[in-house]
Chains A and B, each alone.
Chain A
Amino acid sequence: METRLHRKVLILFAHPALQHSRVNRKLIAGLDRLEGITFHDLYENYPDFYIDVEREQELLSEHEVIVFHHPLYWYSIPAILKEWQDLVLEHGWAYGHEGRALQNKVLFNTITTGGPERAYAADGYNHYTLRQLLAPIEQTAWLCRMTYLPPFAVHGTHLMQPELIDEYRQQYQRILKAFTRGELEVEQAAGLERLNDILVGTQKGASDVR
Chain B
Amino acid sequence: MYGESLFVQAFIYLGAAVISVPIAKRLGLGSVLGYLLAGMILGPFGLNLIGEEGQDVMHFAEFGVVMMLFLIGLELQPQLLWRLRRSILGLGGLQVTLSTLLGTLGLSLFGLQWQFALAISLSLALSSTALILQTLNEKGIIKTGAGQSAFAVLLFQDIAVIPILALLPLIATLPEIISSSGHGSHTWVEGMPPLIKTAVVFLSIIVIILAARYLMRPVFRFIARARLREIFTAAALLIVIGIALIMTKVGLSPALGTFLAGVVLANSEYRHELEGNIEPFKGLLLGVFFIAVGSSLDFNLVLENPGRIFGFVGLLILAKIVVLFILGRFFRMGLDQNLIFIFALAQGGEFAFVLASFAVQNGVLPVGIGNQMVAVVAVSMALTPLLMLLNEKLILPRFGTRESEEQEADDIHGDNPVIIAGFGNFGSIVGRLLHANNVGTTVLEYDSDHVETLRKLGYKVFYGDASRTDLLAAAGAEQARFIIISVGDAEKTLEIVETVKRNFPNLSILVRAIGRSHAYELMDLGVDHVYRDTLDTSLKMGVDALKLLGYRSHHAHRASQKFRQHDEAMMAELAEMRHDTGAYISRARQAIFNLQELLKMDLEDGGEDQDFGWDPTSRREEAREYLKKQKKGDE
Contacts and interface: CB of A to CB of B under 8 A. Distances in A.
A168 B334 CA distance: 40
Given A87-B611, A89-B613, A90-B612, 17 more contacts: A48-B561, A50-B558, A50-B561, A50-B562, A53-B612, A53-B613, A86-B613, A86-B614, A87-B613, A87-B614, A88-B613, A91-B618, A91-B622, A92-B618, A96-B619, A96-B622, A97-B622
Interface in B434-473: none
B620 to A, nearest CB: 10
Interface residues of B, number: 12
A116 B619 CA distance: 40
Interface of B: 558, 561-562, 565, 611-614, 616, 618-619, 622
Contacts of B558: 50
Contacts of B619: 91, 96
17 contacts: A50-B558, A50-B565, A86-B613, A86-B614, A87-B611, A87-B612, A87-B613, A88-B613, A89-B613, A90-B612, A91-B616, A91-B618, A91-B619, A92-B618, A96-B619, A96-B622, A97-B622
Contacts of A91: 616, 618-619, 622
Contacts of A50: 558, 561-562, 565
Interface in A70-115: 86-92, 96-97
Nearest to B614: A86
- In terms of DSSP, what is the predominant structure of the interface of chain A? loop
B214 to A, nearest CB: 45
A50 B614 CA distance: 13
Contacts of A87: 611-614
Nearest to B561: A50
Contacts, number: 26
B577 to A, nearest CB: 23
* Chain A interface category by residue count: 10 to 19
**CB-CB nearest 8 A-B residue pairs:** A87-B613, A50-B561, A91-B618, A91-B619, A90-B613, A86-B613, A90-B612, A92-B618
A181 B561 CA distance: 40
Contacts of B611: 87
Contacts of B612: 53, 87, 90
A48 B622 CA distance: 32
Contacts of A96: 618-619, 622
A89 B614 CA distance: 10
Contacts of B565: 50
A36 B614 CA distance: 32
A9 B561 CA distance: 30
Contacts of A88: 613
A16 B616 CA distance: 29
Nearest to B620: A91
Contacts of A90: 612-613
B618 to A, nearest CB: 5
A113 to B, nearest CB: 28
A90 B561 CA distance: 20
Contacts of A97: 622
A1 B616 CA distance: 40
A97 B626 CA distance: 10
Most buried by B among A48, A50, A87: A50
Contacts of B562: 50
B437 to A, nearest CB: 12
B336 to A, nearest CB: 33
A90 B618 CA distance: 10
B419 to A, nearest CB: 25
A92 to B, nearest CB: 6
Nearest to A96: B622
Contacts of B613: 53, 86-90
A27 to B, nearest CB: 27
Contacts of A89: 613
Nearest to B565: A50
Q: Looking at B612, B613, B614, B616, which has the most chain A CB atoms within 10 Å of its CB?
A: B613
Contacts of A86: 613-614
B438 to A, nearest CB: 13
A125 B562 CA distance: 45
A97 B565 CA distance: 32
Nearest to A92: B618
Contacts of B622: 91, 96-97
A96 B615 CA distance: 14
A48 B557 CA distance: 11
Contacts of B618: 91-92, 96
A50 B558 CA distance: 8
